Amino acid sequence: MLVQFGLAPLAPEWDSCVVCIGTFDGVHLGHQAVISTAVSQALELQQPSVLITFDRHPAAVLAPDKNPAAIATLGQKLRRFEALGVTVCLVLPFDERTSQIEAQAFLDDVLVAKLRTNSIVVGHDFAFGKGRVGTPEWLAERLSTVVVPPCELEGQRVSSTKIRSLIRSGDVEAAKRMLGAPFSLGGVVVKGQQLGRQLGFPTVNVARLCDQILPADGVYAGRCDTVHGEFRAAISVGHRRTGTGPCPVEAFLIDYHDDSLYGTLVELQFASMIREQRDFDDFDALAEQIRKDVAVIENGLGI
């Protein structure tokens, strides 16, 4: 997949393309339906599929006090777009200037003049341009438009809002069903208090780069993708219950015995919550509980 940031250097040499547009936070099943429809149509027409997305959620500019935490990082989204078969991804900055672009101007100057779009695929609730004038109905009057209906799963509409609620409540299993993949948290391994090392369970402390959503406080069964491979993991989210420090995300990697992850990128995949966080009388009690948590995961439960 070719990735282009911004419009300035854009100079496509194709005659026409199929476009889909959206924030696509989390790239959930509904988003996948939109993207896959665009990719399929482009293949049928023997044209490139072009996905347009933004470097941040529009609410970050339009309503900062209501800006939702991201379900996925930009890097995670780009990897998922590529896995769905997208040919080109155009990432645009969503700033004050972008928010003031009229729908007609975006259609004329970007979709038609720059990208040479002959067809567009959008979700049923899509809208773009200043004042959200560019609805599916508005687009259909001006361009060949395919509108993908709402996606439902187990009687519920799949949406980023619903998925955020599930993650915040700790129900990462239900979130996985709507995402079509485990909720994943990306971050960089940094040094912590090294309390886990003293207990015999050294952990990786994960520092986030952006305001990616956190699951409810608790201990989770999951996996950790590292530069050395993927490992089963007991993942802890929440305030430290023994000792002091910030609200960390840390994970004990089962079957990994090395110190070479500091400064590297890891991705934690949350499979299920195995218990809530709680206080312990002493380090011995905490160590015993961690042994039980690890045993649950080693026995294949929760994953």
pLDDT at 52 over 70: yes
Cite the DSSP H helix spans in 6-141: 29-45, 59-62, 74-83, 96-99, 103-106, 136-140
Instruction: Report the percent of the chain where pLDDT is more than 90.
Output: 72
pLDDT at 199 over 70: no
- pLDDT attached to residue 192: 74
Tens digits of residue pLDDT in 85-122:
999 999 999 999 999 999 999 999 999 999 999 999 99
- pLDDT attached to residue 295: 87
- pLDDT attached to residue 241: 47
Over the chain, what is the mean pLDDT?
90
Tell me which residue of 230, 212, 232 sits closest to 222, measured CA to CA.
232
Q: How far apart are the C-alpha atoms of 273 and 301, rounded to whole Å?
A: 11
Q: Look at the pTM and tell me if it is higher than 0.85.
A: yes
Mean pLDDT of 46-52: 98
Tell me which residue of 159, 130, 139 sits closest to 19, measured CA to CA.
139
Tens digits of residue pLDDT in 228-281:
999 999 999 986 544 445 558 999 999 887 777 899 999 999 999 999 888 877
Query: Which residue has better confidence, 217 or 286?
Result: 217
Using H for helix, E for strand and C for coil, what is the string for the chain? CEEEECCCCCCCCCCCEEEEECCCCCCCHHHHHHHHHHHHHHHHHCCCEEEEEECCCCHHHHCHHHCCCECCCHHHHHHHHHHCCCCEEEEECCCHHHHCCCHHHHHHHHHHHHCCEEEEEEECCCCECHHHCECHHHHHCCCEEEEECCCEECCEECCHHHHHHHHHHCCHHHHHHHHCCCEEEEEEEECCCCHHHHHCCCCEEEECCCCECCCCCEEEEEEEEECCEEEEEEEEECCCCCCCCCCCEEEEECCCCCCCCCCCEEEEEEEEEEECCCCCCCHHHHHHHHHHHHHHHHCCCCC
